[in-house]
């Protein structure tokens, strides 16, 4: 309104007597009547409601350009065209970096990798190149700082006074403001905890069913300090609010309705986590396990679930290991084998065993379980002799820890008999079988 009033004064419609309301309306009337071509640019609209009764008139000689993070349907009403400005392509991103570093071409080392790390986001690329120019860093140097999780995202961007291209805020500050707006939209208070949960999952695609689980509803109820369940409709509305503020993208054409959150948005969100955010991580793991099918028939769905588990594990450090290893870690490994990637499954459980042994100790039941899985997939991957030897050692430890008649001990003895037979040792297989109850 102030800008309209100033414009009215400059073109002689008013005397600038301070009545901004009347002056702005006079300016809008002039736009509707004049035969002179005009262009109005309204930059960085936060709330479409702010333009109520202030939209310039629609005329063939006039044009209005509005820039905004919002994607509300109302913005495309009245024959307006909503044009989404997306990400650079990889070649565009590298070309942009090299153009910014024309005078310092030696700093462009690692430009392609940096573009990928920043997710080809134009705003982030602009601020990153300004940062490395100010600090005489190569793209490779900047990547090393970016990979250091001890550094906050705000520490890797220029100070407000050094922002390029007349930017008013850093990337992190822009998203923080957008999240504040999204969290105020109805249903109020749900957008923030929903984004916090999405921030620990795969930026390349989160199955939409994750957000309809009982685990996510419990997470949101905890965030609202409401013991009651949060209805699925409210969750869906909160997810759409994240999309409206360009904090998330929802692909409804995908069979499973995939939700994507840019990796830098995720990082900025994780950096605002409360000190104790273990509940958020636990709910994310529970949600993945809740939608994981018992029989995996869709390889794309299985791959997405494993990718989300990997990202969750990456960002949880020890949170999925106390008091025990979360079941989703075992499910992800079994999924590899069940979808035909048996060698990968054996490798996965080898690494998982190293972690359980280090974190929980050699005699913890989860450590024994990883050894059982490792031995099974080792055999299925073509090493029955190695599997038989592993089950023989495992049987000794199960007998010592749980006793000879425990179901897990008996199952291990049965597995030992099977793999001895597969390894060409029928006598050893028969001996192990004879020691099973009822044999």
Domain ranges within the chain, ordered by starting residue:
2-76, 90-168, 184-274
pLDDT at 439: 53
Residue 90 predicted with pLDDT over 70 = yes
What does the alpha-carbon distance between residue 198 and residue 268 come to, in Å, rounded to a whole number? 12
Residue range 386-416, pLDDT digits in tens:
999 999 999 999 999 999 999 999 999 999 9
- Identify the pLDDT of residue 428: 85
pLDDT higher than 90, residue 358: yes
Per residue in 297-314, pLDDT (tens digit) is: 999 999 999 999 999 998
Check residue 438 and give its pLDDT: 59
The model's confidence at residue 258, banded by pLDDT at 50, 70 and 90, is very high
Percent of the chain with pLDDT over 70: 98
pLDDT for res 254:
65
pLDDT above 80 for 325? yes
Contacts made by residues 136-139, CB under 8 angstroms, sequence distance 24+: 136/107, 137/107, 138/106, 138/107, 138/108, 138/109, 138/110, 139/97, 139/107, 139/108, 139/109, 139/110, 139/111, 139/113, 139/114
- Range from 104-108, 169-173, 253-257, 367-371 carrying the lowest mean pLDDT: 253-257
pLDDT band per the 50, 70, 90 thresholds, residue 108: very high
Whole-angstrom Cα distance, residue 8 to residue 330?
68
pLDDT recorded at residue 224: 86
As a whole number of angstroms, the distance between CA 129 and CA 101 comes to 8
Q: Kindly report the CA angle at 286 between 229 and 251, in degrees rounded to 5? A: 80
pLDDT level of residue 277 (50, 70, 90 thresholds): confident
CA distance 307 to 201: 8
Task: Give the tens place of pLDDT for each residue, 121-162.
Answer: 998 999 999 999 999 999 999 999 998 877 888 888 888 888
Q: Which two tokens stand for residue 272?
A: 């605002």
Confidence grade of residue 256 (pLDDT, cut at 50, 70, 90): low
- Partners of 41 in the β-ladder: 65
pLDDT at 67: 92
What span, in angstroms and rounded, lies between the C-alpha atoms of 197 and 221?
13
Between residues 317 and 353, the one the model is more confident about: 353
pLDDT at 205: 93
- pLDDT for position 317: 65
For 78, the 3-state DSSP assignment is coil
Please say if the pLDDT value at position 255 is more than 80. no
CA distances to 208, 346, 413 from 408, in Å:
37, 20, 9
pLDDT at position 136 = 94
pLDDT of residue 315: 84
Average pLDDT of every residue of the chain: 90
Max mean pLDDT among 246-255, 275-284, 373-382 falls in 373-382
Is the pLDDT at 278 greater than 80, yes or no? no
Average pLDDT over residues 170-185: 86
Alpha-carbon radius of gyration of the chain? 29
Fold of 184-274: Arc Repressor Mutant, subunit A (1.10.10)
* Listed residue (309, 266, 50) closest to 149, CA to CA: 266
Q: Which residue has the higher pLDDT, 327 or 73?
A: 327
- Give the pLDDT of residue 173: 84
Nearest to 36 by CA among 67, 52, 13: 13
Query: What pLDDT sits at residue 372?
Result: 96
Residue 400 is predicted with a pLDDT of 95
pLDDT at position 72 is 87
Query: pLDDT for 338-349, tens place per residue?
Result: 999 999 999 999
């Amino acid at each position: 309104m102030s800008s309209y009033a100033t414009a009215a004064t400059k073109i002689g419609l008013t005397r600038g007597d301070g009545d901004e309301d009347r002056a702005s309306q006079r300016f809008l009337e002039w736009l509707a009547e004049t035969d002179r071509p005009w262009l109005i640019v309204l930059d960085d609209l936060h709330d479409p409601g702010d333009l109520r009764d202030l939209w310039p008139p629609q005329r063939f000689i006039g044009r209005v350009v509005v820039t905004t993070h919002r994607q509300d349907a109302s913005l495309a009403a009245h024959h307006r065209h909503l044009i989404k400005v997306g990400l650079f392509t990889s070649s565009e991103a590298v070309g942009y970096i090299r153009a910014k570093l024309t005078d310092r071409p030696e700093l462009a080392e690692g430009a392609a990798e940096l573009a990928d790390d920043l997710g080809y986001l134009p705003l982030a690329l602009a601020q990153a190149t300004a940062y490395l120019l100010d600090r005489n860093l190569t793209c490779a140097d900047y990547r090393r700082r970016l990979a250091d999780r001890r550094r906050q995202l705000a520490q890797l961007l220029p100070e407000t006074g050094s922002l390029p291209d007349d930017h008013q805020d850093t990337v992190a500050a822009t998203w923080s403001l957008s999240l504040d707006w999204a969290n105020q939209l109805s249903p109020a208070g749900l957008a923030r905890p929903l984004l916090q949960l999405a921030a620990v999952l795969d930026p390349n695609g989160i199955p939409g069913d994750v957000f309809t689980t009982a685990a996510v509803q419990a997470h949101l109820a905890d965030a609202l300090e409401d013991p009651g369940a949060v209805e699925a409709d409210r969750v869906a509305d909160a997810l759409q609010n994240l999309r409206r503020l360009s904090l998330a993208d929802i692909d409804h054409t995908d069979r499973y309705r995939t939700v994507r959150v840019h990796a830098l948005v995720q990082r900025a969100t994780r950096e605002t986590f409360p000190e104790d955010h273990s509940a958020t991580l636990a709910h994310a793991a529970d949600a993945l396990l809740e939608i994981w099918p018992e029989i995996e028939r869709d390889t794309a769905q299985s791959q997405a679930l494993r990718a989300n588990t990997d990202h969750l594990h990456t960002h949880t450090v020890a949170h999925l290991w106390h008091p025990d290893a979360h079941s989703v870690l075992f499910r992800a490994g079994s999924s590899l084998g069940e979808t035909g990637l048996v060698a990968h499954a054996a490798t996965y459980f080898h690494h998982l065993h190293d972690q359980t042994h280090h974190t929980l100790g050699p005699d913890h039941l989860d450590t024994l379980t990883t050894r059982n899985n490792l031995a099974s997939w080792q055999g299925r991957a073509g090493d029955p002799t190695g599997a038989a030897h592993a089950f023989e050692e495992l049987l000794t430890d199960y007998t010592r820890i749980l006793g000879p008649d425990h179901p897990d001990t008996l199952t291990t003895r049965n597995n030992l008999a099977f793999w001895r037979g597969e390894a060409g040792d029928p006598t050893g297989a028969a001996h192990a079988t004879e020691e099973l109850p009822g044999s």
